Amino acid sequence: MGVGEPDDALILPVPEAVSATYLVPVATPPDEPAALADLGARAVDRVVSGPARDLAKQMLAGPLMTIEVREVDDLLPLPLDLLSAFGADEGQVGRVAEARHVITVSAGFRPGWPPAHEWSARAVAAGLAGALGADLIDAFQTQVLTVDAALRSLPDAEGRVRLTDWILIPYSPGDMPGEGMWFTTKGLGRFGLLELQTHDVPPQLTRGWGATLTGVARRLLRTWSDALEPPGEPAFLPFPATVTVTGHDIAVAYGAPPEKGSDRAAELSLTLDPSPNPDADSFLTVAPPEHYQGSPGTYYTRVCATLFGDPVR
């Protein structure tokens, strides 16, 4: 351990780089595929503002972004069922199914904040989709976005975003009857951080725990980004094994001003759960503190009551 590192600190892997990929499915290919970068730059100038516009133009002019046109037959089948599961309506799924070509916008960057790869790739893909009358697909979340939704999610003039536009909170029943719900995040990987998970959440806390985990994600993302701020490219990073989430964290994650959130706080523990399968996700597991002796579900109920008031659903 380094000087000043707590004995119980988690040691998290830091990826060398992170990447973003957006797909723009179209029924007919652009007239001049080689000019897509120019079309993207003009579209970004027209419809994107704030930091994302400058980042996108810089990425377009350099080697960190690529734009390609591929025939659908040359790609793996687009997952229409997953697109529906993550919110695509019938019209969007139909347009994806009818597409014969896919424009791929990819960008890479270092982990941490700002996520220049995500902001710039989403901005360029949204600009191209708008110019071509198409939707875009966020490949990280397998989610269809309208052009308007994609543009609204980009940072404002002060670089602020709603974390809920970049992170989903899927949940499902546990493997065994009476086991409670399994919650995960889907989006922290954009920043190089492991995704979160919680087991044994009471079913009646679906909304409350979803909001709580979003606040935890915001708090941990800030800690992660601050730790990566100094110069250097560490392969591993010490990380706190406990986290305190507040109403302010939740409010900011949902795009509200910090003063709209409360200063109520709850403590949770973190453990590293690496996957034995290199193709599967590893997680940071969010659980009650080590000193707590009761059932996890009872503690999660108490956390939600503290943060939101009782009862919480």
Going residue by residue through the chain, which has 313 residues, state the pLDDT in tens, using 9 for 90 and above.
Answer: 343 455 578 999 999 999 999 999 999 888 787 789 999 999 999 999 989 999 999 999 999 999 999 999 998 888 999 999 999 999 999 999 999 999 999 999 999 999 999 999 999 999 999 999 999 999 999 999 999 999 999 999 888 999 999 999 999 998 777 789 999 999 999 999 999 999 999 999 999 999 999 999 999 999 999 999 877 789 999 999 999 999 999 999 999 876 666 889 999 999 999 988 877 889 999 999 999 999 999 999 999 999 998 655 5
The CA R_g of the chain, rounded to the nearest whole Å, is: 21
Q: Are 155 and 119 in contact (CB under 8 A)?
A: yes
Domain ranges of the chain: 18-152, 163-308
pTM of the model: 0.92
Listed in order, strand segments (DSSP E) in the chain are: 10-13, 18-26, 65-71, 101-109, 136-138, 143-145, 171-173, 181-184, 195-201, 236-239, 242-246, 265-273, 283-287
Instruction: Say how far residue 18 (Cα) sits from the centre of its chain.
Output: 12
Which helix (H) or strand (E) is 225 found in, with range? Answer: helix 206-227
Length of the chain: 313
Cβ atoms < 10 Å from Cβ of 9: 15
The pLDDT of residue 313: 53
What pLDDT shows up at residue 2? 40
CA distances from 187 to 99, 166, 311 (A): 27, 6, 29
Q: What pLDDT, on the 0 to 100 scale, is given for residue 1? A: 37
How much is the pLDDT for 272? 97
Q: What is the pLDDT of residue 230?
A: 73
- Euclidean distance between CA atoms 175 and 181, whole angstroms: 9
- Please tell me the predicted confidence (pLDDT) of residue 6: 56
Cis peptide before 114 (omega within 30 of 0): yes
Q: Can you read off the two tokens belonging to residue 193?
A: 């951080």
* 193, 237 contact by CB (below 8 A): no
* 232 Rama class: left (phi>0) / alpha (psi -120 to 50) / beta: left
Tell me if 227 sits within 8 A of 239, measured CB to CB: yes
